[in-house]
Amino acid sequence: MSEKRWKILLPDKSKTDSLHLSLNIYPVICQILVNRGIETFEQAKNFFRPQIKNLHDPWMMKDMDKAVERIILAVSNYEKIMVFGDYDVDGTTAVACMYNFLKKVHTNLDFYIPHRYREGYGVSKAGIDFANENGFTLIISLDCGIKSVELIDYAKKLGIEFIVCDHHLPDEILPAAVAILNPKQKNCNYPYKELCGCGVGFKLISALAPQFGFGDEEVYENLDLVATAIAADIVSISGENRILAYYGLKKANENPNNGIKALSFLSGLKNELHINNLVFMIAPRVNAAGRMDDARKVVEMFIAESYEEALGFAEQLHSDNTERKEADSSITDEALIQIRENKEWENRKSTVVFKSHWHKGVVGIVASRLIDHYYRPTIVLTQSGDYAAGSARSVPGFNLYEAVHACRDLLLGYGGHFAAAGLTLDLDKIEVFRNKFEKVVSSTIHADLLIPEIIIDAEINFRDIQWSFYNILLQMEPFGPENLRPVFITRNVTDTGYSKIVKEDHIRFSLKQYNTVLTGIGFNMAEKFHLLQNKKPLDIVFKIDENDWNGNKSLQLRMIDFRLSDSLTNPQ
């Protein structure tokens, strides 16, 4: 395990004291809240008790009136409407929500999910041609379309109009759609800018429902799908997203969509669904369909009217996911061997690996896995037809897109953003590209960015880790970007002598501070076990978890990092 940088967030003492006075809860929790921008009793109340009535008026979104008017016209004229969305979690859930709603008022309706490999991401020419051949006159695109200027022009020439619901950053030139719903576009006064694609679709449903005489039940019917999209798309869990995720999880636990219910069953979930279950159990199975096969069946599962029908599609997704896991595990192993065999790559600041037989659907996942081993910008390439194609992933803080852009003279195509990108190039250019990419990265990356950083929320003593404290932490859920599960540091703890290595590379900790003993688990930490054996005081970084063993519940530490206590343990 490489050494990590510890960054301890400092409290604003006057704000923390003020919040503590009004809330009368643990000062450490007040400190965490203040660091997350929650400084008043009212803000804390909205945070801990999200209210669905605090969702913003959908009519504040630019073009909402045009979108609603056009859909009402299409329904009244019995036009053929196509609901179009991307093949990932955000796209497929958005399509399922919109389709489920529109079918209540309109039967001349279908949906379309582009094939990842034949059509690629977003609005596709094949999709528009399909719409044209089958008499569709209105396409509602969800989670895509904001950059599809030429394709939407092409559709317009064919007599097909578009309503674009998207959340990606618009370019200067916008597509010629009837309506564009995107809170990030210029002159859009919608107060919350961080909705995912499914969230934007939800706002359209919220505006449409009263026009057809529907109430809250129909508006909130698919909130569990909206929460799944929020969790999977890694958007901020703040403001409106927090409210939607909170109530979406409630729906997922009390009265889930048949698809969520089926996937939970196949995942072996016994307890309540939390946001991390959506991220690590539901989302991978949904994404696997598009990676390994065809994502149309995801929508079929989410719109299934019976649990039995949904289960049939869920089993296909489950099988795709098993296949995906096998592929990404074997490809990761092969890539690690390739890196180790090329000794000259050892001290590089970047990784570029290639094998012609690697599955295109998992190269992005493999790039992320390799960063766990070699913490540096990483590109995994495979053969696609006559070319090399692949995915790039960055380390936090480094603009990967700019680095790929700097190598554009060697590329046939590329696209992406700060943290991730996709690219294609000629097979005979791989070695030249590998060297140029390394040159660009090594000359622009700051050395600190090649050392993983752990953001620590607060310092705490063992004696404060009690159920009453933990229960307040739980009320901070749902966790996610801008509201991550809190990370703590405790200083000067000692091993009780009962810590041990379990399952080859994990550590089961037994640690003591003053008179309080706590246990914990540290995954893949066995190589640091010697630090425990010398009996010297340690500083530890961890999250607090619940351990349920044979019905006996106890609090435990989920270890993130630890080191010997000394003057070097508090780098800021």
* CA dist., res. 507 & res. 528, Å (int): 9
Whether the CA torsion 439, 444, 446, 450 is positive or negative: it is negative
Give the CATH number of the domain where residue 139 resides.
3.90.1640.30
Domain membership flag for residue 500:
yes
Domain membership flag for residue 550:
yes
62 plus 206 within the same structural domain: yes
Domain membership flag for residue 402:
yes
- For residue 272, what is the DSSP state? -
Total Cβ atoms within 10 A of residue 344: 6
388 plus 412 within the same structural domain: yes
Whether the CB-CB separation of 143 and 91 falls below 8 Å is answered with yes
Domain membership flag for residue 525:
yes
Whether the CA torsion 162, 163, 166, 171 is positive or negative: it is positive
Question: Which pLDDT score, from 0 to 100, does residue 270 have?
Answer: 82
276 plus 186 within the same structural domain: yes
Distance (Å) of CA 560 to CA 375, 506, 529: 16, 12, 14
Whether the CB-CB separation of 378 and 370 falls below 8 Å is answered with yes
User: Which residue, of 421, 450, 479, is where some domain finishes?
Assistant: 450
443 plus 485 within the same structural domain: no
175 plus 299 within the same structural domain: yes
* CA dist., res. 352 & res. 341, Å (int): 13
Domain membership flag for residue 326:
no
Specify the DSSP element, H or E, that contains 17. helix 13-23
309 plus 395 within the same structural domain: no
Domain membership flag for residue 20:
no
Domain membership flag for residue 152:
yes
281 plus 416 within the same structural domain: no
304 plus 172 within the same structural domain: yes
Which domain range does residue 156 map to?
A: 58-319
Going along 342-407, which residue ranges are E strands? 351-354, 378-384, 387-393
Q: 115-121: which pairs have CB atoms within 8 A and are 24 or more residues apart? A: 115/87, 115/294, 116/87, 116/290, 116/291, 116/295, 116/361, 117/360, 117/361, 117/384, 121/86, 121/87
Phi, psi of 276 (to 5 degrees): -70, -25
- For residue 184, what is the DSSP state? T
If one counts the domains in the chain, the total is 3
Distance (Å) of CA 449 to CA 376, 394, 442: 8, 10, 11
Question: Which pLDDT score, from 0 to 100, does residue 264 have?
Answer: 94
* CA dist., res. 359 & res. 373, Å (int): 20
User: Which residue, of 450, 473, 500, is where some domain finishes?
Assistant: 450
Whether the CB-CB separation of 221 and 252 falls below 8 Å is answered with no
Give the CATH number of the domain where residue 472 resides.
2.40.50.460
313 plus 388 within the same structural domain: no
428 plus 472 within the same structural domain: no
Give the pairing type, strands 538-549 and 488-495: antiparallel
Angle at 249 between CA 420 and CA 522, to 5 degrees: 60
* CA dist., res. 101 & res. 165, Å (int): 15
Question: Which pLDDT score, from 0 to 100, does residue 2 have?
Answer: 63
Q: Which segments of the chain have a pLDDT < 50?
A: 567-572
Give the CATH number of the domain where residue 435 resides.
3.10.310.30
Domain membership flag for residue 48:
no
291 plus 395 within the same structural domain: no
Using CB atoms within 10 A of its CB, is residue 86 exposed (0-12), middle (13-18) or buried (19+)?
A: buried
Transcribe 113-177 into DSSP letters. Answer: ---TTTT-SSS-HHHHHHHHHTT--EEEEES--TT-HHHHHHHHHTT-EEEEE--SPP-SSPP--
233 plus 292 within the same structural domain: yes
* CA dist., res. 282 & res. 231, Å (int): 10
* CA dist., res. 249 & res. 264, Å (int): 13
User: Which residue, of 450, 465, 498, is where some domain finishes?
Assistant: 450
